[in-house]
Each structure stands twice: as structure tokens, then as C-alpha cells.
């Protein structure tokens, strides 16, 4: 059930990381959401942006498990309260790692520890490739993809 994706981006790990954690980057690649966190181990984080609860909708949230700037970020992930009534019970883990390969960055994303019958699994399975493609396009060109929504 683990989801694993690898993508190669024509940029430095620093540029990729900035897109993953800066307000400008997350807003571009995560559909208008800003990532709020101090990134300290144990700290909370939340992707917050336009949605069912207005501009301050919490789309996903959790706790930082590991963080090494430009190299590693791991966190628990729950769907936001407006998505699932039992959101606190629906926890998975996301781990992002980056490494330099030639003149590009290899980014690996693993989304694991899925509870049985998690209602967001199928949607998440198809969402990660879109988000990662958006990240690659944004870092390499400064533009985002238009998915038609």
C-alpha cells in the first residue's frame, strides 16, 4: 500500500527545497496553500489555503518527524477536519528526500503507514504525481501546470 515516487528535477536541491517550504513555492505547487510550520522535530505543520472553509481551510496537517534542510523532511499527515469527520484517526507518514544526481536533483517521496481502508488512499495515489509534476515544472520554468480545475 506504500506510495513511492521518484522524480528528477533540473535544479539544485536548494531550489527544490525552497519550492517545497517557502510560501511562494507551496502556494504555486500546492494549489494556493501555504505550509505553516517551524520545521522543528515534533512541531505541527499545516497546509492552509482556499477550500471548503474559505481562505483558511486546513487541507492536511500533522507533526514534523524529521527535517534536514535541502535533504530530508518527514511528517505525519492527516486530512483536514472539513474533509473527514474522523480526520485525527487517519494518519499516514510522508517522507521526502533529495540528492544531487549529475546536474539535477532526485526527489523521492514515500507516503506510507496507511491504515486499512483509508478513505483518501485512491485520491492521494493520483494526487501525488500531479503535485510532483507541478513542482518539477515550477522549479524548472517558474510556471505551474494548468490542470483545468
- Residues 87-131: tens digit of each pLDDT: 999 999 999 999 999 999 999 999 999 999 999 999 999 999 999
Helices (H) and strands (E) in the chain, counts: 3, 7
Per the structure, the complete domain to which residue 127 belongs is given by: 3-141
pLDDT class of 149 with cuts at 50, 70, 90: low
For residues 77 and 91, is the Cβ–Cβ distance under 8 A?
yes
Residue 80 domain-assigned (yes or no) = yes
Residue 148 domain-assigned (yes or no) = no
Residue 9 domain-assigned (yes or no) = yes
Give the residue from 10, 8, 15, 3 showing the smallest Cα distance to 69.
15
Residue 149 domain-assigned (yes or no) = no
Residue 147 domain-assigned (yes or no) = no
In sequence order, the 6+-apart residues with CB closer than 8 A to the CB of 70 are: 13, 14, 16, 17, 98
- pLDDT higher than threshold 80 for residue 148: no
What's the pTM? 0.94
Residue 42 domain-assigned (yes or no) = yes
Count how many domains the chain has: 1
Say which CATH number the domain at 38 has. Answer: 3.30.530.20
Mean model confidence pLDDT for the chain: 95
Length of the chain: 149
Amino acid at each position: 500500500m506504500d506510495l513511492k515516487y521518484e522524480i528528477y528535477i533540473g535544479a539544485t536541491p536548494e531550489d527544490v527545497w525552497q519550492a517545497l517550504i517557502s510560501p511562494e513555492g507551496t502556494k504555486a505547487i500546492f494549489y494556493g496553500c501555504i505550509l505553516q510550520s517551524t520545521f522543528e522535530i515534533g512541531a505541527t505543520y499545516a497546509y492552509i489555503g482556499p477550500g471548503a472553509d474559505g481562505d483558511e481551510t486546513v487541507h492536511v496537517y500533522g507533526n514534523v518527524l524529521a527535517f534536514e534542510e535541502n535533504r530530508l523532511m518527514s511528517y505525519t499527515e492527516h486530512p483536514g477536519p472539513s474533509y473527514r469527520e474522523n480526520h485525527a484517526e487517519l494518519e499516514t507518514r510522508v517522507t521526502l528526500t533529495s540528492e544531487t544526481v549529475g546536474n539535477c536533483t532526485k526527489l523521492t517521496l514515500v507516503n506510507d503507514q496507511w491504515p486499512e481502508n483509508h478513505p483518501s488512499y485512491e485520491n492521494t495515489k493520483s494526487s501525488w504525481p500531479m503535485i510532483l509534476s507541478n513542482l518539477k515544472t515550477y522549479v524548472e520554468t517558474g510556471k505551474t501546470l494548468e490542470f483545468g480545475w
